Amino acid sequence: MSVLGSNRGELSNWAVKRFGRNAGRLVETIPEQLARAHAVHLTARLKRRSPYGSTLAEAVRENLADTVPELGEAVRDLRGYEYAVINDHALFPFKYANRLKPLERARLAADASPTRRRMLLGHGPEPEDGLFPLDDEYTTEEYEGLRETFEALGASTKLVCLFFTADPEGGIHVIHWGDARLEPDRTFTWLYSEQLRVATQPLE
């Protein structure tokens, strides 16, 4: 069951436990990075709508990776993609809808890359029974490969999911972060989540 929290005002114990002294800075930085990534996308004036979702999440990932050295934290390269790792917690940005939608309805796309699935399974919360149930999509060998952690990310590194909704016209609608477990049907079980503020979009 999800436990909803809020960091509007004082920082939550959850945020401080995961990010230590940098928790407050991240609460401020993440909404700004999302707004900046959206503004950059609009400035590029792409005619096709389809690149928006994927490019926005990638821009946020890169922006966060550029920011963490200022915090004295690590940037880890995972197969050519840089991830921000703060206090042994990696930020995993994901746009789960192009309209305002409850977090509980977030779902990983069927064509999501094996790398994303492996990150969520290998570095996310463990299943309650200690074993991720198999479905017909994977063989046992494929499943074991997905469950392995990425040494490049750090075997002890835990994932913090940074989920948001956005669209080109409306910008960023809502931002959540927390501990989410990927389920066999590609939905997520949120062990804990918080809603972050949405920053004002920077002027072009």
Amino acid making up residue 167: D
Q: What is the DSSP letter of 113?
A: -
pLDDT along the chain (204 residues), means of 10: 50 96 93 86 55 74 87 88 93 93 95 89 77 48 58 89 92 96 95 94 57
State the pLDDT at residue 1: 38
pTM of the model: 0.83
Q: The tokens 């789960």 sit on which residue?
A: 96
Q: Per-residue b/e over 11-47, b at no fewer than 16 CB within 10 Å? A: ebebbbebbeebbeebbebbbebbbbbbbebeeeeee
